[in-house]
């Protein structure tokens, strides 16, 4: 099926004259998959419509925040009311306190929290706090894990960087990243070696519990357990980046799932974003009182933000969290997501296409590989050319998945059984042509 993209193309040309690459975040440019990006005009429930009026079943969900789908009535009502009260005050509000209480109620590892405006800001601030609290400089991150575009973290960061074939970013001096140690994800022996060599210099280990910028790769229980043990033994902080997984995979987030497998497990610091803002620019980081009180104005670690705790964003986030906390929400969401990945797996198998998939809550990922990868080098073995064919086949048929094979996908509570059925039926047609 071929669909005219005249309006999208026209907008793209206008954008390219004014905005680098024509986009305000690199993966949106479709450089990895080719073709013209779709300029979205509106969205409702599980659907988006582009500038040509073409309708898509949306499995991006603004890269994760839209867990209720687009335009949920309770969220819209809260945002509209807040907007009438004022867009921004630069002063504290009651709603900030309410949102903090709601988050901490579900994520008990956090005793205190600070709200910020983006996941990058939250990750950057958490690392600064870890360094300030420990008096150490080195940090450990993992190959293919993306924690925002702060300078010290743009080392083998996967996702958008991997899309363009760069291991790091221009504009980042070597001395800025000299304290960043990059290890392979899920490699326990390598982590042990790093701590044996540098343990007393490490301020923190930062890791995604499910690496969503390698598409979808879980940290093994053994890996997470050993990371926790080594941090404790060496006086380093374990920072869990749940910008993507927070409230997306479970009400207690991914760390709650690991706590079920590892007695007493909890991180020292947690980074949150996406779902807690409900689609508005909002993120957070938090942890035990003793660490968080190192932040200004109580302690020596400085962090600030003009729009932090924005009253409209907090209204959006609070309404979202109250909806997803209702009984049975995650059970239904997980079932719907699992039906999608099982359906896609069946469609691929019928066509003889190598395929594997995984999901948790409303987050999923798939690879054109016979087995689920455990780290970034294994992810890179997937068939990029076939993925691009799959992407465009689905897009032309009205299904919008991430325009890069390194990105996870997202299902919302607004997706119906029919939406899943229609997606799988289309996938069956596309797989047959690969």
Name the catalytic one among 47, 274, 358, 376: 274
Catalytic residue flag (residue 146): yes
What are the distances in angstroms from CA 170 to CA 152, 154, 162, 313? 12, 9, 14, 32
Contacts of 265 (CB under 8 A, 6+ apart): 224, 225, 228, 255, 258, 259
SS3 220: coil
DSSP 295: B
Q: What is the DSSP string of 235-268?
A: T-EEEEEETTTTTTS-TTHHHHHHHHHSTT---S
Ramachandran region of residue 379, left (φ > 0), alpha (ψ -120 to 50) or beta? alpha
Strand bridging mode 55-58 / 399-400: parallel
- Distance (Å, whole) CA 191 – CA 39: 43
- Distance (Å, whole) CA 338 – CA 394: 19
Name the catalytic one among 56, 146, 185, 376: 146
Q: What is the DSSP string of 301-317?
A: B----TTTT-HHHHHHH
- Distance (Å, whole) CA 415 – CA 58: 9
Catalytic residue flag (residue 241): yes
Nearest to 153 by CA among 192, 207, 231: 207
Name the catalytic one among 50, 58, 241, 419: 241
The answer to whether 227 and 191 are in contact (CB under 8 A) is: yes
Catalytic residue flag (residue 433): no
- Distance (Å, whole) CA 270 – CA 264: 16
- Distance (Å, whole) CA 316 – CA 188: 40
Q: What residues are annotated to the active site?
A: 146, 241, 274
């Amino acid at each position: 099926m071929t669909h005219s993209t005249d309006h999208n193309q026209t907008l793209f040309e206008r954008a390219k004259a004014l905005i680098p690459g024509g986009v305000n975040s690199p993966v949106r440019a479709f450089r990895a998959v080719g073709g013209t990006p779709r300029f979205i005009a509106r969205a409702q429930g599980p659907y988006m419509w582009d500038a040509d009026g073409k309708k898509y079943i949306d499995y991006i969900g603004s890269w994760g925040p839209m867990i209720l789908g687009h335009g949920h009535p309770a969220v819209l009502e809260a945002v509209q009311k807040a907007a009438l009260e004022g867009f921004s005050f630069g002063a504290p509000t009651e709603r900030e306190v309410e949102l903090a209480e709601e988050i901490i109620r579900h994520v008990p590892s956090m005793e205190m929290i600070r709200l910020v405006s983006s996941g990058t800001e939250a990750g950057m601030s958490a690392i600064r706090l870890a360094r300030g609290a420990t008096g150490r400089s080195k940090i450990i991150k993992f190959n293919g894990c993306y924690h925002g575009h702060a300078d010290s973290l743009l080392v083998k960061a996967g996702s958008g960087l991997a899309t363009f074939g760069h291991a790091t970013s221009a504009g980042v001096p070597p001395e800025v990243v000299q304290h960043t140690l990059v290890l392979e994800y899920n490699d326990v022996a390598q982590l042990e070696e790093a701590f044996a060599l540098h343990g007393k210099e490490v301020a923190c280990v930062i890791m995604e519990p499910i690496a969503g910028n390698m598409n979808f790769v879980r940290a093994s229980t053994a890996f997470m357990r050993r990371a926790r043990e080594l941090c404790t033994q060496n006086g380093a902080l374990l920072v869990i980046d749940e910008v993507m997984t927070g409230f997306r995979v479970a009400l207690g987030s991914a760390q709650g799932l690991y706590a079920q497998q590892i007695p007493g497990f909890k991180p020292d610091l947690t980074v949150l974003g996406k779902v807690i803002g409900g689609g508005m620019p909002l993120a957070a980081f938090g942890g035990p009182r003793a660490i968080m009180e190192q932040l200004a104005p109580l302690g020596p670690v400085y962090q600030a933000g003009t729009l932090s705790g924005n009253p409209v964003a907090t209204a959006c986030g609070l309404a979202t969290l109250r909806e997803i906390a209702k009984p049975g929400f995650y059970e239904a969401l997980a079932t719907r997501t699992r039906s999608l990945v099982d359906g896609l797996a069946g469609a691929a198998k019928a066509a003889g296409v190598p395929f594997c998939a995984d999901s948790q809550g409303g987050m999923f990922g798939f690879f054109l590989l016979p087995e689920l990868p455990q780290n970034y080098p294994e992810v890179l073995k997937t068939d990029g050319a076939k993925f691009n064919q799959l992407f465009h086949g689905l897009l032309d048929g009205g299904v919008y998945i991430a325009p890069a094979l390194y990105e996870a996908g997202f299902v919302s509570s607004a997706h119906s059984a029919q939406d899943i059925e229609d997606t799988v039926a289309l996938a069956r047609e596309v797989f047959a042509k690969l």
